[in-house]
């Protein structure tokens, strides 16, 4: 058997200790879950951005508020996050119309929009904590596997009279694979988390700006 065959990735994994194999399997499962979260969250944020642009274009294009509200409150129509915030504020404004002073109506609409805004932000930020955890913990889990594997490799050398590179290399190589898998799981999670957090912050700013501008419109409507 050649040295290249002895140090092949698959053979090193199969010959690793149970603890190191468990660490590798755990990291692979976490990596798979991380990639699933990355794709699903990426599609969700892209869809939210697209729906926000569409509704902003319609709203600021001079559309009638009543018609927009009827469309937004239609349960059979798919609505975006910003449209649901608008629907919550407009619904509360119409409920309070004629039942109180102008400030009470405006405050009620603003509270309804803030509550809807928080629900939308909670939905957008879901699974971000998981990506952050994967990015921060995976390298240390991989490092634990590496330390354990190296410790096991050097413990096995105690029974040998003469240690050579050929006897040490396989044990160290199989241990380092755990660190590599940990980095493979962590790096995409960190990059995706930073990107998604930035995109969500931009959407949050647009939502908050709309709430303030729509509140001014409602104030003039009374």
Say what the pTM is.
Answer: 0.82
pLDDT tens for 90-146 read 999 888 876 767 788 889 999 999 999 999 999 999 999 999 999 999 999 999 988
The total domain count for the chain is 1
Residue 133's H or E segment, with its range, is: helix 128-156
Range from 60-64, 162-166, 187-191 carrying the lowest mean pLDDT? 162-166
Burial of 161 (0-12, 13-18, 19+ CB in 10 A): exposed
Helix pair angle (81-96, 65-72), 10° resolution: 110
Q: 148 falls in which pLDDT band (50, 70, 90)?
A: confident
Q: Which pLDDT score is estimated for 155?
A: 73
Does position 167 have pLDDT exceeding 70, yes or no? no
Does position 184 have pLDDT exceeding 70, yes or no? yes
**Cα distances (Å, whole numbers) of residue 164 to 154, 157, 161, 167:** 12, 10, 10, 5
Instruction: Give me the phi and psi of 101, to 5 degrees please.
Output: -80, 175
Q: Which pLDDT score is estimated for 218?
A: 86
Share of residues in the chain with pLDDT > 70 (%): 87
In terms of residue numbers, what domain contains 185?
A: 3-221
Share of residues in the chain with pLDDT > 90 (%): 55
CA dist 210 and 196 (Å) reads 21
Which pair of tokens denotes residue 112? 């309804």
Task: Check residue 127 and give left, alpha or beta (phi > 0: left; psi -120 to 50: alpha).
Answer: left
Range from 2-6, 167-171, 195-199 carrying the lowest mean pLDDT? 2-6
Q: Which pLDDT score is estimated for 88?
A: 94
């Amino acid at each position: 058997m050649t040295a290249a065959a002895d140090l092949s990735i698959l053979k090193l994994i199969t010959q690793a200790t149970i603890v190191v194999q468990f660490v590798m399997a755990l990291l692979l499962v976490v990596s798979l879950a991380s990639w699933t979260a990355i794709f699903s969250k990426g599609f969700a944020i892209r869809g939210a951005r697209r729906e926000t642009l569409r509704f902003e274009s319609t709203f600021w294009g001079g559309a009638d508020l009543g018609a927009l509200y009827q469309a937004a409150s239609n349960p059979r129509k798919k609505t975006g996050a910003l449209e649901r915030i608008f629907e919550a504020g407009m619904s509360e404004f119409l409920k309070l119309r004629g039942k109180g002073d102008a400030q009470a109506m405006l405050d009620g609409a603003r509270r309804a929009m803030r509550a809807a805004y928080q629900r939308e932000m909670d939905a957008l930020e879901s699974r971000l904590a998981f990506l952050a955890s994967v990015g921060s913990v995976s390298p240390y889990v991989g490092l634990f596997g590496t330390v354990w594997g190296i410790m096991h490799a050097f413990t096995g050398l105690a029974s040998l009279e003469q240690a050579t590179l050929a006897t040490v290399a396989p044990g160290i190589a199989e241990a380092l694979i755990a660190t590599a898998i940990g980095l493979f799981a962590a790096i995409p999670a960190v990059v995706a988390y930073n990107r998604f957090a930035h995109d969500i912050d931009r959407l949050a700013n647009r939502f908050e700006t709309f709430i303030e501008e729509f509140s001014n419109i409602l104030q003039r409507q009374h």
